[in-house]
Amino acid sequence: MRRPPRRATQLAALVAASALWALSFGGPALAHAGLEGASPEDDETVPRPPQEVRLTFNEPVRAEFEPVEVYAPGGERADTGDAGVDPDDPAVVAVALKDGLPAGDYRVEWRVTSADGDPIDGEYRFTAQEAGEAAPPRQADGQAAGASGPGAGPLAPLIGGAVVVALAAGAAVYTRRR
């Protein structure tokens, strides 16, 4: 039996390694993110309205537009509208709440984008037993904390793998034509 040329064997090994590499990073990107926890938690009763609401997901997410909206007992917005991904943990989205909020039931609505590009959303409720205290006015500190910009994100390894596979396929076609 005749052995394949050495170049063809190397090319086949490169293509196989590239495919395995791409697939090893593709698994997490193909699954949707899921909400792992929240602070305050679903159906939790807290003494006063918290200063912020934090949502923790099982993978990094993108928070675009208004990813978290918190509604006070009367239906008005309780959040400051500056929700974003935590710069230290891209699996956490947080939004600050206004000062001096009333006691009662609060509704949290969220919508983020999974690593695979699909949006996911949900809502939950918590209760504050007493009204929050009004705090002195805050000073502006430039850009809002927690804002997230576009980045390479978790899809970068997949794109890199696809480029390697495309190059390997091009090399195979070139070698075969010679």
CATH number of the domain bearing residue 81: 2.60.40.1220
Tell me, yes or no, whether 39 and 112 share the same domain. Answer: yes
User: Does 57 lie in the same domain as 20?
Assistant: no
Distance from CA of residue 134 to its chain's centroid?
Answer: 32
**Per-residue pLDDT of the chain in tens (178 residues, 90 and over written 9):** 666 566 666 666 655 656 555 555 554 445 678 899 999 999 999 999 999 999 999 999 998 888 999 999 999 999 998 899 999 999 999 999 999 999 999 999 999 998 888 899 999 999 999 988 876 655 555 444 443 444 444 555 656 666 666 666 666 666 666 5
Beta pairing, strands 35-39 & 52-57: antiparallel
82 with 4, same domain: the answer is no
Same domain, 53 and 140: yes
Cβ neighbours for 92, distance < 8 A, ≥ 6 positions apart: 54, 55, 56, 57, 85, 86
User: Beta partners for 86?
Assistant: 89
**Number of domains into which the chain is organized:** 2
Domain co-membership, 122 together with 166: no
Q: Which two tokens stand for residue 67?
A: 């990813």
Residues 61 and 104 in one domain: yes
Shared domain for 18 and 102, answered yes or no, is no
Question: How far, in Å, CA of 72 to CA of 102, rounded?
Answer: 7
Q: Are residues 25 and 52 part of one domain?
A: no
Chain position carrying tokens 């956490």: 92
- pTM assigned to the model: 0.59
Domain span including residue 173? 1-30+152-178
